[in-house]
Amino acid sequence: MAQSPLDKIHALEAIEKEIITCLQSSGQALQELGKEKSSQKAAENHTQQFLKSLATVESKLSEQINYLTQVSTGQPHEGSGYASAKVLQMAWHRISHARSRVKELEESKTKYTQLAAARQQQTNRPNEYFH
């Protein structure tokens, strides 16, 4: 089942909301324990909510990490544009290298042509003096 980048962003947003819930639950549990007359039941409920949220965050983050591990191997993957982007980047690099090499060859050709023309003029000059 391929997921779009937008689906991945929504999944990350859901994880973020679950992290917020986790932090709120832990804060409420600590706040309850900090009271002079704390309710053990309320503290336990907040602690249970914290542990539940923490397990959800861990699970969802593991899914995201597994997905990223599969995508980053360079192997084609459903819904992944990484391999295509990598191929495109390498193609641009090869084109850039070919252009610089062609430029070097053109510069060498120009130098050679200039040297050949200068040598030709030098060999033609002595003949001009004899005419």
Q: What is the 3-state secondary structure (H, E, C) of the chain?
A: CCCCHHHHHHHHHHHHHHHHHHHHHHHHHHHHHHCCCCCHHHHHHHHHHHHHHHHHHHHHHHHHHHHHHHHCCCCCCCCCCHHHHHHHHHHHHHHHHHHHHHHHHHHHHHHHHHHHHHHHHHHHHHHHHHC
pLDDT of residue 72: 72
- 111 vs 2: which has the higher pLDDT: 111
What pLDDT is attached to residue 68?
82
- What would the pLDDT profile of 99-121 be if each residue is shown by its tens digit? 899 999 999 999 989 998 998 88
Q: Does 123 or 44 have the greater pLDDT score?
A: 44
CA nearest 14: which of 51, 49, 64? 64
- The number of beta carbons lying within 10 Å of the beta carbon of residue 130 is 5
pLDDT of residue 88: 84
- Report pLDDT for 47: 92
Who wins on pLDDT, 22 or 78? 22
Angle, in degrees to the nearest 10, between helices 40-71 and 5-34:
150
The class that CATH gives domain 1-73 is: mainly alpha
pLDDT score for 66: 84
HSE-up of 112 (CA within 13 Å, CB side)? 6
Predicted confidence (pLDDT) per residue in 30-77, tens digit:
998 888 888 889 989 999 999 999 999 999 998 888 888 877 766 655
This prediction's pTM: 0.51
Side chain identity at residue 3, one-letter code: Q
Total residues belonging to the chain: 131
Lowest mean pLDDT among 74-78, 87-91, 123-127: 74-78
Position 1 scores a pLDDT of 46
